[in-house]
Structures are given as C-alpha cells and as structure tokens.
C-alpha cells in the first residue's frame, strides 16, 4: 500500500521554515524540522531536501576531509595567479599590507575586547586557534612586543600568506588542525587562548573547546567570537545553497545556548557585538533581528 504525499499547502511552510534556519546557519534545526514533518506526514520533498543538506556535511566525517575542504576553498579563492594576487604579493613584499592590516584590526570590536583582556590579564604566552591569514596575531605582535603569540591554521595557503606578512619576532605560525597541534603541547602551555570565527566551522565544538581549555594554565583566559544570526523572513525564502556544496558554518549559536554551555565556567562574560548588515549576502526577503557576533570570555578552572 503506497503512502500519499503530504499536500503542498502543508509541505511548503515547513520547507520555508527549514530554509530560514539554513540561512541563519542552523543546519541541525533545519534537519530536525524536516525529520519531524516527514514523521508526521511522509513526503519525498522533506527526505530529498534533508539528504541534500547532509551531503554538505561530508567534510566533517574525518579530520583529513575537513582539512582538505578548507585548503581547497582557500587555495581556490586566494591561490590563483592573477593580477590581484600579484598586486597583493608586491604589497606584502613592501610591508604595506602588514601595516594596513594592523591599522584595520585595531578597529575591530572583537579585537578591542580581546586587547582589553590582554591589558587586564597580562599574558606572556598567547594562542590564536584558527588564525586565517593571521590578522589578529599580527596586530597583537605589533602592539604587545613582550607577548609570544603562537597562531595555528588548518589551511596551508593561509599559513603561507601569514608567514609572508609576519614582521614580528614574537609571532609564529603553525600549520595543522588546532586539536592536533595543541594536543602535542604540554597542558598549561598558554596564559590566554582566543579563537575568532572558528567554532561555527569545526566538526565538534566540545572536542575543540576541550583541547583549548587543556592547553591553558589554571586561571588562564579563553576568548572566542562566533556569529550572532537572529533572522526573520519577510517574504518567500529562496533555497539556501552553500558554495561548492560544502557547508562552511555548520551550526548556529544563541545567547541562551552560550550561557548554558559556558556560563558555569569562572569569570564568564558575554558581549553582543552588533554587526553591519550585508544585504547582498542574504535574500531580500530576510531581515536581521540581531546580527553581528557574540564575544565570550571565560577562565580555565
């Protein structure tokens, strides 16, 4: 006996809610909506969309796949030999790009909160977990010469750029997965660890955070920034499609969730940093409720 598909009038609102969750990075939420709807009223459209979404997460199945996916992305976006790259290379060679980077980073709200933590805590050993091209690490190296900054990045392309930008003897860049690099270090190797725009990407937040907390000395400070994406639909929401079929942001963070997970750690603080809404990044039928970043700081037990 065949099962009839659910009426379109019931399916479409569920699909629309799922698309909104995808636009706000809530992949688990979207999959949960589709699974519950399919259980209540089976329909191939729920199952097909859920299968497609799961295909975006294959890079999370192993550490090698994760590293390869990000290296492929950055090599494709930054490694092409064209006029733009040649201009960038000249600016790097002359030191102009490093100076410009430092001037810009100082104005980042999350950097200003991090610098406040550093001035208050006076760490000697600092870890940048997931440094990208090393902007924050370079700025710290310039503004705080006594501090030793170790910066770790999964993409070899980014590490290569960061090393060429580096003009500071107190900053060093290492290539590898954060969990692997810090796992090879002695516990308590750092006084302060920060990780900006990283935890929304990693396969497992608990594994990454656990590794970072272990590398802190008792009482050391862990600071991180993650996206704040509270959005609303103002009309029909188009289907979300990640670049190259790979989901970059694989989870959403909320104030409630962050307080539940980190609020019991010593000296917890959470700051909302309003961001500039970028209409071109989202469909015209999506509007921000709260948009920007959360900056969270805690101390290691």
Examine residue 43 and state whether it is found in any structural domain, yes or no: yes
What are the backbone angles phi and psi of residue 276, rounded to the nearest 5°?
Answer: -80, 120
* 157-170 per-residue burial string, b: 16 or more CB within 10 A, e: under 16: bbbbbbebbbebeb
Contact 233, 203 (CB under 8 A): no
* Tokens of residue 94, six digits: 């002359």
* Tokens of residue 222, six digits: 């862990």
Asked if 280 and 142 sit in the same domain, the reply is yes
Asked if 130 and 226 sit in the same domain, the reply is yes
Examine residue 3 and state whether it is found in any structural domain, yes or no: no
CA 150 to chain centroid, in Å, comes to: 19
Examine residue 129 and state whether it is found in any structural domain, yes or no: yes
Asked if 281 and 247 sit in the same domain, the reply is yes
Asked if 50 and 71 sit in the same domain, the reply is no
Asked if 21 and 170 sit in the same domain, the reply is no
List Cβ neighbours of 20 (8 Å cut-off, separation of 6 or more): 231, 232, 233, 237, 286
Contact 141, 111 (CB under 8 A): no
Query: pLDDT 10s per residue in the chain (301 long)?
Result: 444 566 666 899 999 999 999 999 999 999 999 999 999 999 999 999 999 999 999 999 999 999 999 999 999 988 777 788 888 888 898 899 999 999 999 999 999 999 999 999 999 999 999 999 999 999 999 999 999 999 999 999 999 999 999 999 999 999 999 999 999 999 999 999 999 999 999 999 999 999 999 999 999 999 999 999 999 999 999 999 999 999 999 999 999 999 999 999 999 999 999 999 998 899 999 999 999 999 999 999 9
- Residues belonging to the chain: 301
Examine residue 24 and state whether it is found in any structural domain, yes or no: yes
For the chain, the distance separating the N- and C-terminal CA atoms, rounded to the nearest angstrom, is 59
pTM of the model: 0.93
| DSSP line for 254-288 | -HHHHHHHHTTSTT-EEEEEE----GGGS-TTEEE
* Tokens of residue 181, six digits: 């690099």
CATH for 209? 3.40.50.150
Examine residue 2 and state whether it is found in any structural domain, yes or no: no
Cα–Cα dist 165/175, whole Å: 15
Asked if 216 and 252 sit in the same domain, the reply is yes
What stretches of 115-201 adopt beta strand conformation (E)? Answer: 125-129, 148-153, 171-175, 190-196
* Tokens of residue 49, six digits: 């969309």
Residues of the domain holding 47: 8-55
Cα–Cα dist 145/143, whole Å: 6
Asked if 43 and 125 sit in the same domain, the reply is no
The total of structural domains in the chain comes to 2
* 217-231 per-residue burial string, b: 16 or more CB within 10 A, e: under 16: eeebbbbbbbbbbeb
Examine residue 185 and state whether it is found in any structural domain, yes or no: yes
């Amino acid at each position: 006996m065949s099962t009839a598909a659910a009426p379109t009038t019931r399916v479409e609102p569920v699909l629309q809610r799922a698309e909104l969750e995808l636009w706000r990075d809530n992949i688990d939420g979207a999959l949960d909506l589709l699974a519950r709807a399919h259980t209540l009223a089976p329909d191939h459209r729920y199952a097909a969309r859920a299968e497609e979404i799961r295909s975006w997460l294959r890079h999370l199945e192993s550490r090698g796949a994760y590293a390869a996916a990000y290296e492929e992305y950055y090599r494709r976006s930054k490694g092409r030999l064209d006029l733009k790259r040649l201009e960038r290379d000249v600016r790097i060679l002359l030191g102009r790009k490093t100076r410009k980077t430092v001037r810009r980073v100082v104005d980042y709200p999350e950097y200003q909160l991090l610098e406040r933590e550093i001035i208050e805590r006076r760490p000697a050993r600092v870890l940048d977990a997931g440094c990208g091209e090393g902007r924050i690490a370079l700025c710290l190296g310039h503004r705080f010469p006594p501090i030793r900054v170790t910066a770790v990045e999964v993409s070899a392309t980014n590490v290569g750029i960061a090393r060429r930008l580096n003009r500071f003897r107190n900053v060093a860049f290492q290539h590898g997965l954060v969990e692997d690099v810090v796992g090879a270090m002695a516990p308590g190797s750092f006084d302060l660890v920060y990780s900006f725009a990283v935890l929304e990407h990693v396969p497992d937040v608990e594994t990454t955070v656990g590794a970072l907390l272990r590398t802190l000395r008792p009482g050391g400070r862990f600071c991180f920034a993650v996206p704040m994406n509270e959005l609303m639909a103002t009309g029909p929401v188009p289907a979300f499609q990640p670049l190259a079929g790979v989901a970059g942001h694989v989870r959403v963070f909320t104030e409630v969730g962050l307080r539940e997970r980190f609020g019991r750690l010593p000296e917890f603080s959470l700051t909302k940093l309003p961001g500039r809404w970028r209409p071109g990044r989202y469909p015209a039928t999506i509007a921000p409720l709260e948009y920007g970043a959360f900056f969270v700081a805690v101390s290691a037990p």
